[in-house]
Amino acid sequence: MQTTHIKKLLLASAIALGLGSGAAHAEVKIGLITTLSGGGAALGQDQRDGFMLAVEQNGGKLGGQDVSVIIEDDQLKPEQGVQIARKLVNNDKVDFVTGIIFSNVMMAARTPILDSKTFLIGSNAGPSPISGAECSPYFFSTSWNNDQLHEGGGQIATDQNYKKMYIMAPNYQAGKDALAGFKRFYKGEVVDEVYTQIGQMDYSVEIAQLQQANPDAVYVFYPGGMGVNFVKQYRQAGLLGKVPLISASTVDGSTLPALQDIALGVITHAPYAPNLDNAQNKQFVEAFEKKYNRSPSLYAAQSYDAANLIASAIKKVNGNLQDKEAVRKALEAADFDSVRGDFKYNTNHFPITDWYRVDVVKGENGKVELAAQGVVFKDHKDAYYEQCKM
């Protein structure tokens, strides 16, 4: 009888302290996998900084709960991403995983995360299988399906009446998705479709070949350092300003600081730009620039949204993360203010949002910047959601 009484007292104390079944976590653990070394390091830095800004703005909490963020560098290596993913779910026992810049890392790392029924909030890479037949109730994106990022490039090229396009991308999942997305909305002729090595930095041979093809315009997808080098070499060849260059994730907030005036005139397509006119974005841009002394990129914006999405879900379930079904429904509600404006989820857990033509221009202050020029797609859905059977 004495032992039973002590057990009851201990149980009551545990519940009072939030340690009992169904109670709020003492601390929410989040694993952030990103690329912090090599040619994609600038993208990963922005992804990390956007997420941590949201945590800082909330006093080290998300959804009212204390947060511990474990940041890991995948080095743009799928095998490294898998090792990190296993460590986060098996050893660190994280409640959420977020981040992941590159699709080859995402395709590898997602398996141990999702198999463990840990929620993965992707804030960049969106390979097509994950948005279609291989969708998961534990995967959510605050970015896009890879194809979506490039479909607007095809629409822009069609709208500009470019009859012949030369298109290029690195030879990996996101590169293939990129050119597939472009071709889905481009109505003219693709005179050549070229895939280069991932991480390649010298494009002199490819640029000479595209000059011989004499296209009306060129479309490329080269994220990170690949994009910096391609645009520099394209300008050096005398093509920029003569043969229009359309791109996605080639000239963006992570690469523009290294390019500056060299990138003037490049046309891009994105679901975000720093000049989007909504209250959440205005405060985000101001806070990001004040803290990091640079404008936020798409990668920072998506990661900031990921933090606020997680916060909204934690708040909705009152910190009870053991109820996976309730957490899933809370994430699906997407009850947070996005820097992109209106934000809602499709049935495959990818966003339905507006997409913009974003040009590289000289701002009023004389600085080179990315500025949204108008909507290309309104409430745009990806091409694969009907294949998702959730």
Give the pLDDT confidence of 125-168 residue by residue, as tens digits. Answer: 999 999 999 999 999 999 999 999 999 999 999 999 999 999 99
Strands (E), the chain: 28-34, 61-62, 65-73, 96-99, 119-122, 139-141, 164-170, 189-196, 217-220, 245-247, 267-270, 344-345, 351-362, 368-380
Do 132 and 157 fall into the same domain?
Answer: no
Do 20 and 152 fall into the same domain?
Answer: no
Do 264 and 281 fall into the same domain?
Answer: no
| Rounded (5°) CA angle 95-317-14 | 75
Torsion of CA 167, 172, 177, 182, to 10 degrees: -10
11 pLDDT tier (thresholds 50, 70, 90): very low
Backbone φ and ψ for 249, nearest 5 degrees, come out as: 55, 30
Buried b (16+ CB within 10 A) or exposed e, 244-264: bbbbbbbbbbbbbeebeebbb
Q: pLDDT at position 115, please? A: 98
Q: Which residue has the higher pLDDT, 5 or 120?
A: 120
Q: Which residue has the higher pLDDT, 58 or 12?
A: 58
pLDDT over threshold 90, residue 110: yes
Do 69 and 112 fall into the same domain?
Answer: yes
Q: pLDDT at position 6, please? A: 36
What's the 3-state SS for 120-165? EEECCCCCHHHHCCCCCCCEEECCCCHHHHHHHHHHHHHHCCCCEE
Residue ranges making up the domain that contains 92: 8-144+276-345
The verdict on residue 333 lying in a domain is: yes
SS3 for 28? strand
8 pLDDT tier (thresholds 50, 70, 90): very low
Do 162 and 263 fall into the same domain?
Answer: yes
Q: Fill in the DSSP letter of residue 378.
A: E
Per-residue pLDDT tens digits for 304-338:
999 999 999 999 999 999 999 999 999 999 999 99
The verdict on residue 350 lying in a domain is: no
Backbone φ and ψ for 186, nearest 5 degrees, come out as: -90, 130
Q: pLDDT at position 22, please? A: 45
Do 292 and 330 fall into the same domain?
Answer: yes
The verdict on residue 3 lying in a domain is: no
pLDDT over threshold 60, residue 7: no
Q: pLDDT at position 362, please? A: 93
Residue 205 and residue 227: Cα distance in Å, rounded?
16
Buried b (16+ CB within 10 A) or exposed e, 293-322: ebbbbbbbbbbbbbbbbbbbbbbbbebbbe
**CATH code of the domain covering residue 383:** 3.40.50.2300
206 pLDDT tier (thresholds 50, 70, 90): very high
Model pTM? Answer: 0.89
Do 113 and 51 fall into the same domain?
Answer: yes
Q: Fill in the DSSP letter of residue 32.
A: E
Do 294 and 367 fall into the same domain?
Answer: no
Do 67 and 118 fall into the same domain?
Answer: yes
SS3 for 26? coil
**Looking at 18-32, 81-95, 242-256, 268-282, which range is the least confident one?**
18-32
Q: What is the rounded end-to-end Cα distance, in angstroms, of the chain?
A: 50
- Side chain identity at 3, as an amino acid letter? T
Q: pLDDT at position 207, please? A: 98
DSSP 204-239: HHHHHHHHHH--SEEEE---THHHHHHHHHHHHTT-
Which is it for strands 189-196 and 217-220: parallel, antiparallel or unpaired? Answer: unpaired
Residue 158 and residue 153: Cα distance in Å, rounded?
9
CB 112 within 8 A of CB 83: no
SS3 for 264? coil
Q: pLDDT at position 25, please? A: 55
Residue 162 and residue 324: Cα distance in Å, rounded?
49
Q: pLDDT at position 363, please? A: 87
CB 340 within 8 A of CB 305: yes
Residue 272 and residue 297: Cα distance in Å, rounded?
8
Q: pLDDT at position 39, please? A: 79
Do 138 and 151 fall into the same domain?
Answer: no
CA–centroid distance for 75 within its chain:
17
Per-residue pLDDT tens digits for 16-72:
344 434 445 579 999 999 999 987 899 999 999 999 999 999 999 999 999 999 999
The verdict on residue 168 lying in a domain is: yes
